[in-house]
Each structure stands twice: as structure tokens, then as C-alpha cells.
């Protein structure tokens, strides 16, 4: 009896093993939880069900920083996944690690996949492409900052909710009116460095860093303490002192205050749309990010945030074929259009954008097209292609600290940005030394 059970077990596990052997399995480490995690799992299931040669296994490895760390630690131990989701801030780190990554254009080329890198939207593609035009990682989730408006609070404060908010000058007037009308939190923001310095610089066509924001080489230096940035940060600092700008925290803490109906204006990623739509019990609207009128070239275009998929070195050829098939599947316009509509992330291919428009999504959900328009309105310049800076996660931390000093009134914008540039440059030099 016992022997029989044992034999049965052996036989069935052998059958299972041979069954699994026919499929090539690849690992994908990602940073998504909650609704985004569910949508990602759906994509994987769909791919696994669509064919029988390959199987993708997705694993959640913590937030963006933790996922990158997990990938790095795994590489050092020789246990790296095939695909690693890395946030845009880690792009320079990954690009500098030539021996650890396998560029996407190479993966696609070797697998002979029919794949058109030009199908991607310019500003999205540009972020992850070398100056020679080779795409190194596959854009996955990309967003750009926009302005969310609580229309009810405008009405309550006696302001016209349809008033022009396209310039910071007008926003300044609106803040006066909101404050006078008894609104406790006229303006708040998420991701202050990303919105008010990185995107701000691109949008006003001024450099964030030298050498085309680092695209031109590792010897780049930070340059975001120019007069336009100083003027903007000082204006924000003054608003903070007057109680017109409420600072909630470094990440997207302010979202809770906006969704709860406390704040009238909120600068946040377009990907925040799903959350606002689900929770806001007031009439809200999405507007383009404001710019300062009178600055030459403004508004240029905004840049992206989000993450891309990097393929890691050290795997078998047939596994790379599986990776190519999966990445191709992810870029298909059906998948991309659904992703864009469900999350508020940008459509990363032209085809997905056209499909979304044809399906009438933008008419049914006014405001969702603004992020795309804002990014693609003008051809990107050297200042608005994106950022490629080493140790950038930490540099953002430094910027956060210095901005907090402005919001609390302990430093002027000029002092704070000057100090952030100086401290950030020290890190850039170390990065250059480690990776040069």
C-alpha cells in the first residue's frame, strides 16, 4: 500500500516535471501592489494563456527602491530575474551597469521579433534610449504631472471654477481668492522635486543639469539653481508662509488631503487619476500643469516619471526568446490601451493612443487626454528629453530636504537650491568615479 502510494507520487511528479519542462519559464520582478498589482497580474495571466511555449512568473519585491535593491543583490549572487522593473530615477544606474543588463534592442534583435521602436511616443522612448538611438529598456508605466482642481471649493470660495489656471500668475491670484474665501488648503503637491524642479525645468526649457541633463555624459553637473527655478521655488515658499501652499510630505501624502476634499489645487502625477476618481466626493477636473508667463519657450513639454523594464544578463538564449515574446506582447496596442485607460498612465505607443481615442475614452473621461497632450505638444529639446543622473534617488532626497527648508521659511530659495546643487554634485562626482 505504502509502496503503491509512493510510486504513484513519483509517477505524477515525473509527469508534472516533463510537462513543465516543455515551457520556458521567465521571472519578472516588479514593484506594484494594490490595483496596479492586480492589473499587472492580469497581463501576465493573459500572456500565459495566449500561448504554451513560455510562462512568465511575476513576483512583487517591495517598492521601487526595494525592487532595484533586490535586483542588484540577486545579480551579485547570480540569481537575477530575467526582467526587472526599475523606476525612471534608477535609469542612469542601470545604463552604467553594462555588464549586468542586456539592452532591449539586442534582445529583440536576437529573437528576430517584429518590433518597431519608433512606434513609441517620443518623450517616453527618449528617456530610455541612448544618444545613438538604441533602446535599452522597455517603457512600461509612464506618467507626467498635471494639475487637479477641486471645483466645489472654488465655488465655495466665490471663485469661478472655470477660471484660467494655465499660468502660475493666475494660480497665484486663485490662491489669494481661495485663502480669502476660507479654504484652509488652497494648494498642495505630491513629488515636489519631480513636479516643481524636474518637470518645471523641462516645461520652461531650462536645464536641470548640464550636458543635456546628463544624456551627454557622466561629467554632468546640476544646474537647477537658475533664476527661473529660484523665482518659482521662492513663490512657492512665500505661499507656504502665507498658508496658501500646504506641504504634506515628500511622496504623495498630499493626495489624501486632496481626495478628502480639503485642498483646492493639487499638482500630482497623471497616474493619480484612478485614485482621485474612485474617492473624490466632489466635482474635480484635470488641467495642464501651469507655467510662468513671460519665460521664453514655456510651455515646452513635461517629462515622464514611472518605470521601465530592464532585461538582465546571464540567461539562456531560449529564455531571452521568451522575454522578447513577452515584451512584444506588453507593447501591443490592446494591452497598452487598456493599461492607459485603467491606470491614468500615459499610452506609451502611438497605436495605443489612437485606439484609446477611437474608442471614445477621452470624450467619456474629460481631462485624461491632457497628460499626453502636454508631453507631446512640442518636439523635446535638450532640456526636456528627460534626466539621466547617477545616484538620483539620493539627490532627490537632498532636494527634498532643501525644499523643506524653504517651505518652513528657514532658507531662501536661492540658498536652498544652491546648497542642493552643491551637495548633489558631490554625489554625481562619486557616481562618475564608481562608473567611469
Partner 1 sequence: MEKRVTFKGWLLPMLLLLPQVIITAVFFFYPAGQAVWQSLFIPDPFGLKSQFVGLGNFEFLLNDPFYRASFLTTAIFSTLVTLVSMGVALFLAVLADRLIKGSGAYRTLLIWPYAVAPAVAGVLWLFMFNTRVGVVSWYLGLLGYDWNHVLNGNEAMGLVVVASAWGRISYNFLFFLAGLQAIPRSVIEAAAIDGARFWTRFRTIVFPLLSPTTFFLLVVNIVYAFFETFGVIHTITSGGPQQSTTILVYKVFSDGFVGQDLGSSAAQSVILLFVVGLLTVVQFKYIERRVHY
The contact set with partner 1 (CB under 8 A) reads 65, 69, 72, 75-76, 93, 96-100, 247-250, 256-257, 262, 391, 393-394, 397, 400-402, 404-405, 407-408, 410, 423, 426-427, 430, 433-435
Smaller CB distance to partner 1: residue 5 or 433? Answer: 433
| Angle (CA) 312 316 317, round 5° | 100
Rounded to whole angstroms, the Cα distance separating 146 from 20 reads 46
First and final C-alpha spacing in the chain: 67
**Would you say 392 and 386 are in contact if contact means Cβ atoms under 8 Å apart?**
no
Give residues with Cβ within 8 angstroms of 326, minimum separation 6: 26, 28, 47, 54, 56, 83
Smaller CB distance to partner 1: residue 370 or 416? Answer: 416
Smallest distance from partner 1 to CB 411, Å: 9
Rounded to whole angstroms, the Cα distance separating 391 from 396 reads 9
Q: How many CB atoms within 10 Å of residue 93? A: 20
Smaller CB distance to partner 1: residue 113 or 256? Answer: 256
Closest to 311 in 3D by CA, of 122, 18, 108: 108
Smaller CB distance to partner 1: residue 248 or 330? Answer: 248
Give residues with Cβ within 8 angstroms of 285, minimum separation 6: 148, 149, 151, 161, 366, 367
Smallest distance from partner 1 to CB 231, Å: 22
Smaller CB distance to partner 1: residue 36 or 100? Answer: 100
Smallest distance from partner 1 to CB 268, Å: 16
Rounded to whole angstroms, the Cα distance separating 161 from 148 reads 12
- Strands 263-269 and 185-189 come out as parallel
Smallest distance from partner 1 to CB 237, Å: 12
Smallest distance from partner 1 to CB 5, Å: 42
Smaller CB distance to partner 1: residue 254 or 290? Answer: 254
| Angle (CA) 111 115 118, round 5° | 145
Smallest distance from partner 1 to CB 357, Å: 39
90: DSSP letter: G
Is the bond preceding residue 232 a cis peptide, omega within 30 degrees? no
Smallest distance from partner 1 to CB 433, Å: 6
Smaller CB distance to partner 1: residue 253 or 316? Answer: 253
Smallest distance from partner 1 to CB 66, Å: 8
Smallest distance from partner 1 to CB 146, Å: 23
Rounded to whole angstroms, the Cα distance separating 231 from 292 reads 10
Smaller CB distance to partner 1: residue 248 or 271? Answer: 248
* Helix 168-180 and helix 227-241, axial crossing angle in degrees, nearest 10: 0
Smaller CB distance to partner 1: residue 53 or 422? Answer: 422
**Would you say 150 and 282 are in contact if contact means Cβ atoms under 8 Å apart?**
yes
**Would you say 68 and 93 are in contact if contact means Cβ atoms under 8 Å apart?**
yes
Amino acid at each position: 500500500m505504502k509502496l503503491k502510494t509512493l510510486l504513484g507520487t513519483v509517477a505524477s511528479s515525473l509527469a508534472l516535471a516533463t510537462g513543465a519542462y516543455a515551457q520556458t519559464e521567465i521571472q519578472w520582478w516588479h514593484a506594484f501592489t494594490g490595483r496596479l498589482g492586480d492589473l499587472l497580474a492580469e497581463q501576465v495571466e493573459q500572456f500565459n494563456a495566449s500561448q504554451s511555449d513560455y510562462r512568465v512568473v511575476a513576483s512583487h519585491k517591495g517598492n521601487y527602491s526595494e525592487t532595484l535593491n533586490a535586483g542588484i543583490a540577486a545579480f551579485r549572487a547570480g540569481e537575477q530575474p530575467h526582467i526587472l522593473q526599475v523606476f525612471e530615477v534608477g535609469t542612469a544606474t542601470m545604463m552604467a551597469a553594462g555588464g549586468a543588463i542586456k539592452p532591449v534592442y539586442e534582445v529583440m534583435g536576437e529573437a528576430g521579433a517584429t518590433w518597431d521602436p519608433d512606434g513609441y511616443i517620443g518623450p517616453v522612448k527618449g528617456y530610455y534610449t541612448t544618444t545613438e538611438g538604441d533602446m535599452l529598456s522597455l517603457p512600461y508605466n509612464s506618467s507626467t504631472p498635471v494639475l487637479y482642481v477641486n471645483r466645489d471649493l472654488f465655488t465655495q470660495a466665490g471663485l469661478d471654477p472655470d477660471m484660467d489656471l494655465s499660468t502660475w500668475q493666475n494660480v497665484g491670484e486663485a490662491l489669494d481668492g481661495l485663502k480669502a474665501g476660507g479654504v484652509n488648503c488652497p494648494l498642495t503637491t505630491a513629488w515636489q522635486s519631480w513636479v516643481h524642479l524636474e518637470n518645471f525645468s523641462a516645461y520652461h526649457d531650462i536645464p536641470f543639469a548640464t550636458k543635456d541633463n546628463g544624456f551627454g555624459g557622466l561629467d554632468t553637473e546640476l544646474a537647477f539653481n537658475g533664476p527661473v527655478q529660484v523665482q518659482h521655488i521662492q513663490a512657492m515658499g512665500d505661499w507656504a508662509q502665507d498658508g496658501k501652499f500646504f506641504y504634506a510630505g515628500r511622496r504623495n501624502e498630499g493626495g489624501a488631503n486632496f481626495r478628502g476634499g480639503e485642498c483646492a489645487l493639487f499638482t500630482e502625477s497623471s497616474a493619480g487619476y484612478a485614485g482621485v476618481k474612485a474617492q473624490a466626493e466632489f466635482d474635480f477636473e484635470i488641467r495642464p500643469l501651469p507655467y510662468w508667463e513671460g519665460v521664453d519657450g514655456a510651455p515646452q513639454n513635461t517629462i515622464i516619471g514611472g518605470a521601465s523594464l530592464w532585461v538582465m544578463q546571464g540567461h539562456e538564449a531560449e529564455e531571452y526568446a521568451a522575454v522578447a515574446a513577452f515584451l512584444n506582447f506588453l507593447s501591443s496596442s490592446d494591452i497598452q490601451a487598456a493599461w492607459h485607460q485603467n491606470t491614468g498612465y500615459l499610452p506609451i505607443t502611438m497605436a495605443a493612443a489612437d485606439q484609446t481615442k477611437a474608442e471614445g475614452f477621452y470624450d467619456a473621461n474629460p481631462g485624461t487626454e491632457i497628460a499626453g497632450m502636454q508631453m507631446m505638444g512640442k518636439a523635446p529639446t535638450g532640456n526636456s528629453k528627460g534626466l539621466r543622473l547617477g545616484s538620483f534617488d539620493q539627490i532627490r532626497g537632498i532636494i527634498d530636504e532643501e525644499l523643506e527648508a524653504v517651505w518652513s521659511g528657514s532658507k531662501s530659495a536661492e540658498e536652498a537650491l544652491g546648497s542642493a546643487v552643491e551637495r548633489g554634485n558631490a554625489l554625481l562626482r562619486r557616481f562618475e568615479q564608481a562608473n567611469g
